[in-house]
Amino acid sequence: MTRDDAPTLLAVHAHPDDEAIATGGVLLQAADAGWRTRVVSCTGGERGEVVGEGMDPEEVRPRLGEVRRAEQAAALEILGAGEPLWLGYRDSGMVGDPGNDDPASFWRAPFDEAVERLVAIIRRERPTLVITYDAFGIYGHPDHLQAHRVTLCAVEAAAVPALQPAAGPAWEVSALDLATLSRSAIAQMNRMLPEHGTVSPFGDETDPDALEVGTPDAAIDLVVDVRAQLDRKLAALRQHHSQLALDSFFVGVPDEVAELALGTEAYQRRRGAVVDPRDPLAGLG
């Protein structure tokens, strides 16, 4: 049980399952250290896959949003992050998906409206540390890009009493971290995965300097070792059953590859001092 005065970590993600993949280890570390942790999902993941074992896509698809909300609640229970928080938009789908044009999608949301919704959550939850994605949304998904933009603006706006006064008393976030992937880690995955019969989601380029995705190592402020939390991180990820086929990259790889892909989490710090390059919580609690 956390103290009433415990610091709070608020992670802002685009879809259910992103929280476990990108930030599950740090969420667990924070909860283990006595922090209060919460997760905002900007969409319900309605345009995700339906590939879970035993699932009938035709039956599940019409109610996928409901299914993914239940999966999110189960995952957050393992992560110790409380009940899910929702920004209230629909999944926009990948780049070029018809969902990009859905007026109810996050990608099409009025920007000021989305910022105000997140400001209200920030002012209510009063986080010490906020985490979202890097400027490319890690891999360019429209909802990830929008989450980055909305979160950066909401963190700034939440501290200004004259902005969105109906959203509650102003609150200043102490630190803002952006989840990312290092190019050296991507290059190493691209080398290792084919050796284990797995196709890398990032292609086959093995030269970090030639990669167009990821962040140069020199631009990364924090590389957090979460191998001690990896079993629970994977257990949380597996709650997102609808999104994980038996041969999924995230559940079907050998232990050494899982450690490489998910055993560290990389962040850029955009607000607050970097005290310890291995620890996003250092100096904040």
CATH of residue 150: 3.40.50.10320
Q: Look at residue 258 and tell me if it is in a domain.
A: no
| CB-facing half-sphere around the CA of 183: CA atoms within 13 A | 15
- The span from the CA of 223 to the CA of 218, in Å, is 11
pLDDT number for residue 5: 85
Which structural domain, as residue segments, surrounds residue 165? 8-182+221-250+264-271
Q: Look at residue 68 and tell me if it is in a domain.
A: yes
Q: Look at residue 190 and tell me if it is in a domain.
A: no
Q: Look at residue 280 and tell me if it is in a domain.
A: no
β-pairing, 175-180 with 129-133? parallel
| CB-facing half-sphere around the CA of 196: CA atoms within 13 A | 18
Q: Are 70 and 16 in contact (CB under 8 A)?
A: no
Q: Look at residue 255 and tell me if it is in a domain.
A: no
Q: Look at residue 93 and tell me if it is in a domain.
A: yes
- The span from the CA of 215 to the CA of 184, in Å, is 9
pLDDT beneath 70: ranges in the chain: 1-4, 251-253
Q: Are 222 and 177 in contact (CB under 8 A)?
A: yes
Domain count, the chain: 1
Q: Look at residue 216 and tell me if it is in a domain.
A: no
pLDDT number for residue 260: 84
Q: Look at residue 195 and tell me if it is in a domain.
A: no
pLDDT number for residue 108: 97
